Chains A and B, each alone.
Chain A
Amino acid sequence: MKTIIEPFRIKMVEPIRLSTRAEREAWAREAGLNLFLLPAEQVLIDLLTDSGTSAMSAEAWGALMRGDESYAGARSWYRFEKTVQEVMGFPHVIPTHQGRAAERILFGTMLKPGDLVPNNTHFDTTRANIEHVGARAVDLPCAEAAQPDLRAPFKGDMDVAALEALLAEHGPARVPLVMVTITNNSGGGQPVSMANLRAVSEVARRYCVPLYIDACRFAENAWFIKTREPGWADVPVRRIVREMFALADGCTMSAKKDAFANIGGFLCTRDPALASRERDLLILTEGFPTYGGLAGRDLEAIAVGLEEILDEDYLRYRAVSTAYVADKLAEAGVPLVLPAGGHAVYLDARRFAPHIPPLAYPGQALAVELYLEAGIRGCEIGTVMFGRDPAHPDERPARLDLVRLAIPRRVYTQSHMDYVVEATLEVFARRDALRGLRMTHEPPVLRHFTARFEWLGA
């Protein structure tokens, strides 16, 4: 069989509502041309994020009904802890209400002002949490990452030579940890190879700096290693996952991605003393160490999701269905990041609308137009999201201006995706008419979430 189908059928549906272009124009204006500010009911196909938007399985819902809501020592906690230990291989597990809380606790415990944290590419909340404690987030992507249309297998890799240079210059005293994000979300959902992880791990070890993996999409990354990296084709994904984490000293995880959960996250470490300090901070802002700000039922659902995500039939379907969208768009000449990432298709807005300069936010302009055209909500990952750096007074263009069409797990069908492709092609056909934007309201941190815009010349 050539056709790869979903290894599941639908058990429960959620109606979505069609709208007219006139309605959407009014709604977009009310939302200040920021799709984050749209009520979800005004969206037809929501590709804003794959975070927390997955369809859970009947198994996960069944487990959810068994949630033990005891404040301390709930059986749901022990099930969760055991699953994380088995899948990731870390002894100490700290539950948090979601990924950014795990990051905050990690950085709150390990960083001091002036420190540097290298990563292949930091994501928005990671960067914000590092900057919040007065440290600096440093992106060290590999050279291929800068060429959106270059089809290389592991464009999420870190630049190992740059890491080595950074550590040689500043030393372990200023660099308390090295991070690698798998897959590399800001860089197009591109995977990191086992070879690169191993090289990064060796360098970090040589400088006695712990390596932490931002593990949000660890299973998708493992699938790419299995299918793209020589020598791994016959290794079960479960073992690839263990080998990836064996190279690290800990990880942060948003269970809202590769655990199919609608809420939840965790932090892992091998260091018992560090774990103890992290738990002290956890109690203060999250919750008691056996629930960490989650309902017992959510711990159950995550435990089920972490097992389900390792199913290779699912991962094959996931990679193929994302590539389906990317391939159709690429065939029609739409500029995008290639090859397709695991969880999203990234339109290259700078080439899509070359007449809009980066500081007129081509990504935002394109995302808004896709919404007006078809009710599709994508997400700008570009100058709006990353245009501010505390080290520089002026706004600067981001490395890339992308529109991410993130695909929630197990939620949309092929016909939904055909509609998305069609709408994108419609916008592409009249791309010269796209207009740039200016920001009329700029929040001081994570501005992309609540900023407001107007069209230039409006």
Chain B
Amino acid sequence: MSTTPQRPAWAEPYRIKVVELIRTTTREDRQRLIAEAGYNTFLLRSEDVYIDLLTDSGTSAMSDRQWAGMMLGDEAYAGSRNFYDLVDTVRDLYGYEFVVPTHQGRGAEHILSRLLIRPGDVVPGNMYFTTTKLHQELAGGAFVDVIIDEAHDPTSPHPFKGNIDLDKLAAVIAEHGAERIPYVSLETNVNMAGGQPVSMENLRAVHALCRRHGILVMLDATRAIENAFFIKEREPGYGDRALADILREIASYSDGATMSGKKDGLVNIGGFLALNRRDHYEEAMNLCVVFEGLHTYGGLAGRDMQAMAIGLREAVDEDHMRARIGQVRYLGERLMAAEVPIVQPIGGHAVYLDAKRILPHLPQDAFPAQTLAAELYVESGIRAMERGIVSAGRNAETGDHNRPALELVRLTLPRRVYTQAHMDVTVEAVARTMARRGAIRGLRMVHEPARLRFFQARFEPLSGT
């Protein structure tokens, strides 16, 4: 896979209309602040962060059109016109029949899991995602990973590392029986694998296999538009197709989707559950009203539904997506040029530092990715996120850490927020951290929450040996 960009330069298809000031801190400040935060970047105050690459979720800059849409918010409790705009937009872009708005993606996951999963069920998926897996488990199901092996190898150049291994999926169906599998949970641009796409060929094949067994396919469509961009770029026959076309085709191989509008959708809050079957929709409406809000607002202000409807249309714009992926690629290629080990190929929303190779002297029990994220903050005020053993949590039966093959630090790029100069600073900061890696010691966990521990866990530095 060539890492040369298709064009020597790309430019953002927008200019800046409103800015938000950020502040720098000293190294001494940051040493104190990260210690106060228990060496967990989640627990830092945002005003102490210089460049915030913690997540691309909800951190996008909205456009002037989205802000104008915010001013058209219809805050009626029932039947807000913004709801109908959102439904029309989702039907138009994705082709799903029914839409239940939710306050964000995990609200949709919550409803879907309760709707379809019964105790003892098995839900195959292409690599776990933290909240998705937990909702499946709380509904009584068990997640089974059926992603291709290449996904677990950060050096594999496979162009579609998000693909499902059809043999693994067939084996799960043979072992448990189709009646114990309510749906296959298919994530586009697989986050935990490094923002890696799924090919259309694979989507088609998974859908066909599931159809034969009467199993539903539910998409995690959070970054489906970024996935569509990779299909256009990499998959034969799609080079001349419009992104919007490709997105429709992706969704056509599924029976519904959970969506966090906070990623592709370019909004700060919002999500939805999309469904094609009326009976599912009727039951989802009932669950929505208990947990989220009436089904015509689902826990969102009217203005937020409007901003999401507009944001989704902006997201399928080819120039937008070229600049979006282009910026991620720019950061990744400069890091590679500085000989920083990263997950390849470069994904859609983030560059993933390979902490195992950056800190080879740290055992996984010393939390190499957590350590690297903390060190990067101390070095530069840049906030990143651990995606390794801390995020993977513990095995419910044995009580031991789940030990993922990947030990990553995610540098996640908010959409339309940071400039090329911010990216250059990031590269320099990572390179400087790399340069003193021999002196970096690991961490031990001193506070461990029972669930989704990575959010609130606290650490202390291991004493020197």
- B451 near A: Cβ within 8 Å? yes
Does B44 lie within 8 Å of A72, measured CB to CB?
A: yes
Does A296 lie within 8 Å of B75, measured CB to CB?
A: no
Does A449 lie within 8 Å of B289, measured CB to CB?
A: yes
Does A48 lie within 8 Å of B289, measured CB to CB?
A: no
Does B81 lie within 8 Å of A283, measured CB to CB?
A: no
Complex CA gap A74/B71 in Å reads: 23
- A41 near B: Cβ within 8 Å? yes
Contact segment of A49-57, A144-152, A220-228:
A49-57
Complex CA gap A14/B80 in Å reads: 13
Query: Of B77, B103, B450, B455, which is within 8 A of A97 by CB?
Result: B103
Give per-residue flags for A275-316: 1 if the beta carbon is below 8 A from chain B beta carbons, else 0. Answer: 000011001111111010111111000000000000000000
Residue of B nearest to A53 (CB): B75
Residue of B nearest to A263 (CB): B301
Shortest Cβ gap from B387 to chain A (Å) = 14
Does A286 lie within 8 Å of B54, measured CB to CB?
A: no
Give per-residue flags for A384-399: 1 if the beta carbon is below 8 A from chain B beta carbons, else 0. Answer: 0000000000000000
- A42 near B: Cβ within 8 Å? yes
Shortest Cβ gap from A440 to chain B (Å) = 15
Query: Of B47, B54, B268, which is within 8 A of A67 by CB?
Result: B268
Contact segment of A98-106, A201-209, A415-423:
A98-106
- A68 near B: Cβ within 8 Å? yes
Give per-residue flags for B444-465: 1 if the beta carbon is below 8 A from chain A beta carbons, else 0. Answer: 0000011110011000000000
Query: Of B58, B77, B297, B452, which is within 8 A of A284 by CB?
Result: B452
Contact segment of A30-38, A345-353, A360-368:
A30-38
Does B46 lie within 8 Å of A298, measured CB to CB?
A: no
- B66 near A: Cβ within 8 Å? no
Does B76 lie within 8 Å of A280, measured CB to CB?
A: no
- B276 near A: Cβ within 8 Å? no
Known: A40-B80, A70-B46. A262 touches B302 (CB 8 A): yes
Shortest Cβ gap from B115 to chain A (Å) = 13
Known: A129-B290, A262-B301, A283-B451. A39 touches B268 (CB 8 A): no
Task: State which residues 52-103 of A face B: CB under 8 Å.
Answer: 52-53, 65, 67-75, 78, 97-98, 100-101
Query: Of B46, B104, B291, B456, which is within 8 A of A287 by CB?
Result: B104
Query: Of B18, B294, B449, which is within 8 A of A449 by CB?
Result: B294
- A450 near B: Cβ within 8 Å? yes
Does A51 lie within 8 Å of B77, measured CB to CB?
A: yes
| Residues of the B chain whose Cβ atoms lie less than 8 Å from the Cβ of A41 | 74, 79, 81
Complex CA gap A39/B292 in Å reads: 19
Give per-residue flags for B73-98: 1 if the beta carbon is below 8 A from chain A beta carbons, else 0. Answer: 11111111100100000000000000
Complex CA gap A276/B162 in Å reads: 36
Does B46 lie within 8 Å of A450, measured CB to CB?
A: no
| Residues of the A chain whose Cβ atoms lie less than 8 Å from the Cβ of B138 | 284
Shortest Cβ gap from B373 to chain A (Å) = 12
Interface of B is mostly: loop
| Residues of the A chain whose Cβ atoms lie less than 8 Å from the Cβ of B286 | 443-446, 450
Known: A293-B104, A445-B286. A285 touches B44 (CB 8 A): no
Shortest Cβ gap from A68 to chain B (Å) = 6
- A43 near B: Cβ within 8 Å? yes
Does B77 lie within 8 Å of A53, measured CB to CB?
A: yes
| Residues of the B chain whose Cβ atoms lie less than 8 Å from the Cβ of A115 | none
- B57 near A: Cβ within 8 Å? yes
Does B451 lie within 8 Å of A298, measured CB to CB?
A: no
| Residues of the A chain whose Cβ atoms lie less than 8 Å from the Cβ of B290 | 100, 104, 125, 128-129, 132, 445-446
Task: State which residues 4-30 of A face B: CB under 8 Å.
Answer: 12, 14
| Residues of the A chain whose Cβ atoms lie less than 8 Å from the Cβ of B293 | 97-98, 100
Does A70 lie within 8 Å of B49, measured CB to CB?
A: yes
Residue of A nearest to B111 (CB): A285
Considering only CB atoms and an 8 Å cut-off, how many residues of chain A contact the other chain? 61
Complex CA gap A406/B275 in Å reads: 34
Does A450 lie within 8 Å of B44, measured CB to CB?
A: no
Query: Of B46, B75, B104, which is within 8 A of A72 by CB?
Result: B46
| Residues of the B chain whose Cβ atoms lie less than 8 Å from the Cβ of A297 | 268
Does A68 lie within 8 Å of B46, measured CB to CB?
A: yes
Does B76 lie within 8 Å of A97, measured CB to CB?
A: no
Does A283 lie within 8 Å of B455, measured CB to CB?
A: yes
Q: Which residue, A49, A78, A286, has most C-beta atoms of chain B within 10 A?
A: A286
Complex CA gap A52/B295 in Å reads: 15
| Residues of the B chain whose Cβ atoms lie less than 8 Å from the Cβ of A42 | 79
Task: State which residues 275-299 of B face A: CB under 8 Å.
Answer: 282, 285-286, 289-295, 297, 299
- A327 near B: Cβ within 8 Å? no
| Residues of the A chain whose Cβ atoms lie less than 8 Å from the Cβ of B77 | 36, 46, 48-49, 51-53
| Residues of the A chain whose Cβ atoms lie less than 8 Å from the Cβ of B300 | 97, 263
Does A46 lie within 8 Å of B76, measured CB to CB?
A: yes
- B45 near A: Cβ within 8 Å? yes
Give per-residue flags for B31-47: 1 if the beta carbon is below 8 A from chain A beta carbons, else 0. Answer: 00000000001111111
| Residues of the B chain whose Cβ atoms lie less than 8 Å from the Cβ of A70 | 46, 49, 52, 54, 59
Does B455 lie within 8 Å of A288, measured CB to CB?
A: yes
| Residues of the B chain whose Cβ atoms lie less than 8 Å from the Cβ of A280 | 449-452
| Residues of the A chain whose Cβ atoms lie less than 8 Å from the Cβ of B80 | 40
Does A450 lie within 8 Å of B54, measured CB to CB?
A: no
Known: A293-B299, A296-B268. A52 touches B75 (CB 8 A): yes
Does A69 lie within 8 Å of B59, measured CB to CB?
A: yes
Complex CA gap A444/B282 in Å reads: 11
Residue of B nearest to A450 (CB): B285
Known: A69-B59, A283-B455, A293-B269. A37 touches B135 (CB 8 A): no
| Residues of the B chain whose Cβ atoms lie less than 8 Å from the Cβ of A285 | 106-107, 110, 291
Task: State which residues 97-134 of B face A: CB under 8 Å.
Answer: 103-104, 106-107, 110, 131, 134
| Residues of the A chain whose Cβ atoms lie less than 8 Å from the Cβ of B135 | 284
Shortest Cβ gap from A104 to chain B (Å) = 6
Residue of B nearest to A41 (CB): B81
Shortest Cβ gap from B198 to chain A (Å) = 25
| Residues of the A chain whose Cβ atoms lie less than 8 Å from the Cβ of B78 | 35-38, 40, 48
- B264 near A: Cβ within 8 Å? no
Complex CA gap A36/B110 in Å reads: 24
Does B268 lie within 8 Å of A295, measured CB to CB?
A: yes
Complex CA gap A294/B107 in Å reads: 12
Does A71 lie within 8 Å of B295, measured CB to CB?
A: no
Q: Which residue, B54, B58, B131, B456, has most C-beta atoms of chain A within 10 A?
A: B58
| Residues of the B chain whose Cβ atoms lie less than 8 Å from the Cβ of A100 | 290-291, 293
Given A52-B301, A287-B106, A294-B103, 19 new contacts (CB under 8 A): A40-B79, A48-B78, A73-B42, A73-B43, A73-B48, A98-B103, A101-B291, A101-B292, A104-B291, A262-B303, A283-B452, A283-B456, A284-B131, A284-B134, A284-B138, A285-B291, A286-B103, A293-B107, A295-B58
Closest 9 CB pairs of A and B: A40-B76, A70-B46, A97-B103, A295-B269, A39-B79, A263-B301, A73-B45, A262-B301, A295-B268
> Which residues does B use to contact A, with CB under 8 Å?
18, 20, 41-49, 52, 54-55, 57-59, 71, 73-81, 84, 103-104, 106-107, 110, 131, 134-135, 138, 268-269, 282, 285-286, 289-295, 297, 299-304, 449-452, 455-456
A-B contacts, 16 of them at CB < 8 A, read A39-B84, A48-B77, A53-B75, A53-B76, A70-B46, A71-B59, A97-B104, A97-B107, A101-B299, A263-B304, A279-B456, A280-B450, A284-B134, A285-B106, A286-B106, A296-B268
